[in-house]
Chains A and B, each alone.
Chain A
Amino acid sequence: MSDKKRLESGDRIATEAADWWSSLALGTADPGAFSRWRDSDPAHAIAFARVQATWESLQHHRTDVETQLLERGSRRRFLRNSVAVASVGLIGAAGLLYTSRATAWSHASTAVGEFRRLRLPDSSLLELNTDTSVSWRCNDHARNFRIERGEMALELTTGAPVTLAVAIARLSLSSGSFNARLIDGQVGLLVLQGRATGTVVRDGVSRTFVLESGQSAEWGPGLARIAPISAAARERLTAWRNGSVVFDDETLASAVAEYNRYLSRKIVVADPVLATMRVGGRFATSDPTAFLHAVSVALNADIHRDAGSIQIVRK
């Protein structure tokens, strides 16, 4: 075949290769017909390999691709309508055509005020709360998760054994529903459904524990507590998954500290008397306006906003 003919047929072959690839990916292809097509000309095999390589490179960069597209999207309204689903951060590691490469750690994070939902290839679900950084590595033999900072909910399907590393805690999780956090050096775990076993190393001593459904644990400097989860605590500790923050008769200081996890412009309570007053209610993590209004009315306080912070002061 002459150069010219080859070049002209190149685009046709590229189209055919993409068509084959797509129908294989969506499960509608006839594998025999595909093999015959590919074997009939090395150029077919090359074109198909290129499409597959493109897919793998998308897979390789998927977290970054998603992040960058989302970042650009917020600036340029780039992702709209039908891709809106990506705005909550759905990503996955589809090993659609090929999965047998050595598994590397995948990584995802959220900025302050951000929320992300990730669906893994095994259908497990991860949800990342504000200011969170996590890694995972999943294959047929093991599913390993790591929280570097922040808070993550895990809905785990049955499958390979699951481990979760959070600072000083090394956990083995059954399938089920869990909430794990690492905030200010303190580790928290809720077993909403399922079972967690593991070890915690504190002061050079390793201790094992077992948590059943409905139990929670907290570990930190000078702190090790395993307790049942009350209905109120359950609501309060999982409210973030619905974009809410719930206070249940807490001091204003602790409520503000919790709210500030979601805010880039932080709320400050300088007045010590105000700080100890007690508040309750359910508010949106994305917008503190209603909370500030409730505080100003109920506690008779003034709200001052400047570029860097929101001050709650006594009238």
Chain B
Amino acid sequence: MPELRPIDRWFIDEVLPHERRYIAAARALTANEDEARDLVQEVYVKLFSLNGWAAIESPPGYVLRMLRNLAIEHLRRAKIVSFRRLTETDAKNIWDEAPDQFRVMSAREQLSRVILALEKLPERCRAVLLRRRLGDETPTEIARATGESISTLEKRLARGMQLLTQALEFQGTAERVRDDSSTQPSAHERQETT
């Protein structure tokens, strides 16, 4: 599809499926969940500015190495340096590229996450999403069936996909429940460390 560039395709196929490994590694290197996510996000951003991404032999291994280098960089910049985390992480063997320990989520696990996430969606968002996805109805057909305008459908589909994506994000990490009204994390959820 014209909207997906090769790098997007590569990112979706080669990088994202291993996200739980990155998070597990990042969590061992950082103080809390949010920092771990930020660290992973920072690596993703760097990936998108690489010219040689296509030549990377093992994208998950590459991401793990980048995570570690970035974490060390952050630690060096921090005023209080604790290498405790780094040594602990080394012992845990999370840099091992064999996917045994932090294997890609099994199809069954992934499916139950999708189902759970779908169930949490507001009814109307889910309806539009399922119609488009499962029923493969055209926008006009859905609009006719639900009596809603295309722009309303568009908003519902967007909202549904956003919530679903949020629910599936950083798979393998502890559930972070966010309800509809408070999508912004509150200030006390995190602390500045760098």
Question: Is A290 located at the chain interface by the 8 A CB criterion?
Answer: no
Contact A78 B3 (CB under 8 A): no
Q: Nearest residue in B to A90 (C-beta to C-beta)?
A: B135
Q: Mark A83-116, 1 if CB is under 8 A from B, else 0.
A: 1011000111110111100000000000000000
> Among residues 30 to 52 in chain A, which have CB atoms less than 8 Å away from a CB atom of chain B?
31, 34, 42-43, 45-46, 48-52
Report chain A residues within 8 Å CB of B169: 50
Report chain A residues within 8 Å CB of B111: 61, 64-65, 68
A46 and B12 in contact (CB under 8 A), knowing A52-B4, A121-B136?
Answer: no
> Among residues 1 to 28 in chain A, which have CB atoms less than 8 Å away from a CB atom of chain B?
2-4, 6-8, 10-11, 14-15, 17-19, 21-28
Contact A25 B132 (CB under 8 A): yes
Contact B12 A83 (CB under 8 A): no
Contact A42 B118 (CB under 8 A): no
> Which one of A6, A24, A49, A78 contacts B8 once the chains associate, using CB atoms below 8 Å?
A49
Question: Is A296 located at the chain interface by the 8 A CB criterion?
Answer: no
Contact A14 B118 (CB under 8 A): no
Question: Is A69 located at the chain interface by the 8 A CB criterion?
Answer: yes
Question: Is B48 located at the chain interface by the 8 A CB criterion?
Answer: yes
Contact B8 A45 (CB under 8 A): yes
Question: Is B49 located at the chain interface by the 8 A CB criterion?
Answer: yes
Interface residue SS majority, chain B: helix
Report chain A residues within 8 Å CB of B124: 82
Contact A53 B16 (CB under 8 A): yes
* Interface size classification for chain A: 35 or more
User: Looking at B4, B16, B135, B153, which has the most chain A CB atoms within 10 Å of its CB?
Assistant: B135
Question: Is B2 located at the chain interface by the 8 A CB criterion?
Answer: yes
Contact A54 B133 (CB under 8 A): no
Task: Return A249 CB to nearest CB of chain B, in Å.
Answer: 40
User: Looking at B45, B158, B184, which has the most chain A CB atoms within 10 Å of its CB?
Assistant: B158
Task: Return A113 CB to nearest CB of chain B, in Å.
Answer: 22
What's the A-B contact tally at a CB cutoff of 8 Å? 172
Question: Is A58 located at the chain interface by the 8 A CB criterion?
Answer: yes
Task: Return A127 CB to nearest CB of chain B, in Å.
Answer: 15
Question: Is B194 located at the chain interface by the 8 A CB criterion?
Answer: yes
Report chain B residues within 8 Å CB of A22: 154-155, 157-158, 161
Could you tell me the distance between the alpha carbons of A45 and B46 in the complex, rounded to whole angstroms?
A: 12
Task: Return B161 CB to nearest CB of chain A, in Å.
Answer: 5
Residues of A within 8 A of B (CB): 2-4, 6-8, 10-11, 14-15, 17-19, 21-28, 31, 34, 42-43, 45-46, 48-59, 61-62, 64-66, 68-69, 72, 78, 81-83, 85-86, 90-94, 96-99, 119, 121
Question: Is B26 located at the chain interface by the 8 A CB criterion?
Answer: no
Q: Nearest residue in A to B46 (C-beta to C-beta)?
A: A42
Report chain B residues within 8 Å CB of A90: 134-137
A-B contact pairs, 19 of them (CB 8 A): A3-B192, A6-B38, A7-B34, A22-B154, A23-B158, A26-B154, A26-B157, A27-B139, A28-B154, A42-B44, A51-B161, A52-B12, A53-B12, A54-B161, A61-B110, A86-B130, A86-B134, A92-B134, A98-B9
Question: Is B82 located at the chain interface by the 8 A CB criterion?
Answer: no
Report chain B residues within 8 Å CB of A66: 134
Question: Is B166 located at the chain interface by the 8 A CB criterion?
Answer: yes
Task: Return B63 CB to nearest CB of chain A, in Å.
Answer: 13
Could you tell me the distance between the alpha carbons of A99 and B12 in the complex, rounded to whole angstroms?
A: 14
Could you tell me the distance between the alpha carbons of A23 and B159 in the complex, rounded to whole angstroms?
A: 12
Task: Return B14 CB to nearest CB of chain A, in Å.
Answer: 11
Task: Return A101 CB to nearest CB of chain B, in Å.
Answer: 9
A85 and B114 in contact (CB under 8 A), knowing A26-B157, A51-B161, A54-B164?
Answer: no
